[in-house]
Structure 1
Amino acid sequence: MATRPAPSSFAMLPASREEFTRRVQLAREAVEDETARPGLRYLAGELDVLREPVRRPFRKLAIPAAAVPRTVMLLPGFATHPVRMRYLARQLERAGHTVKRWGMGFNFGPTEENLAFLEARLEEVHARYGRDVVLVGWSLGGLFARELAKRRPGLVAKVVTMGTPFSGNPRANNAWRIYQFVAGHRVDQPPIETVVAEKPPVETVALWSPRDGIISPRSARGLAHERDRAVALRCTHIGFSYAPEAIHAVLAELDRAG
């Protein structure tokens, strides 16, 4: 089955002065619901990512063999490219899993067009490997994973989100103003028909961290009826893509997949 051409990531960026001005106004929007979001201490902790290239060559990461090999699709976070999840992908492959990218470039937010592309991509991966796919989404990528599982539950074995803001106030984070500028819509008014907090009809596990400097831990943990389980880690938000404990947590969830 041939996957349709991937939508251009950069098509979502402002193409005119008027659109640029509109998005600046979105980013500067005054809101009444100033809600709890990670403090400056945790936000500064995200700079840990600058040390990662120095530490990685000296890291001896023990990777256990997979109990059952899975097919995994990784979905990147807001404004990140799949290459940012390459290290995680390599560790999952070391364990014996088959890991596939989502097939698009940078993640600049949802549209019906890119969700349709991802449905076709999911169908292609499922048909090629003949087994249900585990969707692992980092931050905004986790919202895509949850939405795909709602639309095509028969193709999905499990959803694992990492620091994904699927619960509570969508402004309970330190990125919503940047998001509104880049995506071109209010964070609480996505251009798709969905109920963000609604749990997909497959096993859904939320990895979250009290040290997350971008997303409110409450938003990433969710309520009992919004996911099946929540697993607390101690990494930063960016660290979900490279921290050893995050990698081992994902591997553990793959071993528990149905």
Structure 2
Amino acid sequence: MTPSVPQPISRPSLALLGTEPWRAAYEFVQHKITRKATMPPGDGHPVIIFPGLGTDGAAVAPLRDYCETLGYSAMDWGRGFNTGPQGDIDTWLAELADHVSGLLNGHSQRATLIGWSLGGIYARELGKLMAPRLRQVITIGTPFNGTPDLTHAGWLFRLLNGAAPVTDPALSQRLRTPPPLPTTSIYSRSDGVVAWQSCRHDKTGAQVRDVEVKGSHIGMGWNPAVLQVVAERLARPRSAAR
């Protein structure tokens, strides 16, 4: 038998990208009318949510409100619009870690970090810098296992920063490596912005999981299937999650 040849990964088609707003709107309606599954009450641990490129706390408000309704102390990252890392990546991430540490002051429980799209890259890297203060990382439509040309977001990054994103091989390998914490990547094969293959780990295991849902990229923050996965992961006891 002739071995199968891996198919090359490419960014989503323009047709799929073009339907993103309509599919996201449909998912928002679903979110409003779908009866929520009964979940155990949250234990009150802090949840910090990082928005995608070119968005802010308003974009993740449905997800934040959902987490608060479940009984968690949810907040967005509190730094306004996400325009991408500025300057030296390590210095920028260290400053972000200090900022997030400030958000966690007064909370005795370990936090969950949730990141949508580019915000998931931040959540994963902070998971490596702040592991003792965290219980898990959840990413939503985050292309950590690929290159910038596997997304349709490059033009937005250039618009916001005046230059295209640059990722060298060493940084690419670093981004592929999950944090030393329970890590869940939620992705969709019908994502019209990022290649779904770039949202999956090369190897999964007890602490690293990939969960597939059906939906758009733009609507992932309120997609009922995504919210269900988030609720299930948040409800896991810390001992079980670790």
- Normalised by the length of structure 1, the TM-score is 0.77
Partner Cα separation in structure 1 for residue 39 and residue 119 of structure 2? 26
Q: Out of 43, 48, 55, which is 1:80 matched to?
A: 55
Partner Cα separation in structure 1 for residue 32 and residue 10 of structure 2? 37
Percent identical pairs in the alignment equals 29
Q: Out of 210, 220, 239, which is 2:199 matched to?
A: 220
Q: Which moved more, 1:219-228 or 1:170-179?
A: 219-228
Partner Cα separation in structure 1 for residue 92 and residue 55 of structure 2? 15
Task: Tell me which residue corresponds to 2:36.
Answer: 61
Task: Tell me which residue corresponds to 2:78.
Answer: 103
Query: Number of matched residues?
Result: 224
Give the partner amino acid of 2:198: S
Query: What is the CA-CA distance between 1:135 and the residue it aligns to?
Result: 0.3
Q: For the aligned residues, what is the CA RMSD?
A: 2.6
Any gaps of 5 or more consecutive residues in structure 1?
A: 1-33
- Normalised by the length of structure 2, the TM-score is 0.82
Query: What is the CA-CA distance between 1:125 and the residue it aligns to?
Result: 3.3
Matched, 1:36 2:35: no
Encode CA deviations 1:117-154: one digit per residue, 9 max, x unaligned: 42123222333111111000000000011111112211
Partner Cα separation in structure 2 for residue 120 and residue 253 of structure 1? 25
Query: What is the CA-CA distance between 1:49 and the residue it aligns to?
Result: 2.6
Residues 143-222 of structure 1: matches in 2 within 5 Å?
143-189=121-167, 195-222=174-201
Partner Cα separation in structure 2 for residue 244 and residue 189 of structure 1? 33
Partner Cα separation in structure 2 for residue 237 and residue 248 of structure 1? 16
Partner Cα separation in structure 1 for residue 25 and residue 184 of structure 2? 28
SS in 2 for 1:124: helix
Matched, 1:140 2:142: no
Query: What is the CA-CA distance between 1:205 and the residue it aligns to?
Result: 1.1
Partner Cα separation in structure 1 for residue 101 and residue 14 of structure 2? 42
Query: What is the CA-CA distance between 1:97 and the residue it aligns to?
Result: 0.9
Q: Which moved more, 1:146-155 or 1:173-182?
A: 173-182
SS in 1 for 2:59: helix
Give the 4+ runs in structure 1 shifted more than 4 A: 51-57
Query: What is the CA-CA distance between 1:55 and the residue it aligns to?
Result: 5.5
Give the partner amino acid of 1:250: V
SS in 1 for 2:78: coil
Task: Tell me which residue corresponds to 2:221.
Answer: 241
Query: What is the CA-CA distance between 1:183 and the residue it aligns to?
Result: 2.9
Query: What is the CA-CA distance between 1:35 and the residue it aligns to?
Result: 5.6
Any gaps of 5 or more consecutive residues in structure 2?
A: 1-7
Query: What is the CA-CA distance between 1:37 and the residue it aligns to?
Result: 0.9
Shift in CA distance, 222/185, structure 1 to aligned 2, threshold 3 Å: farther
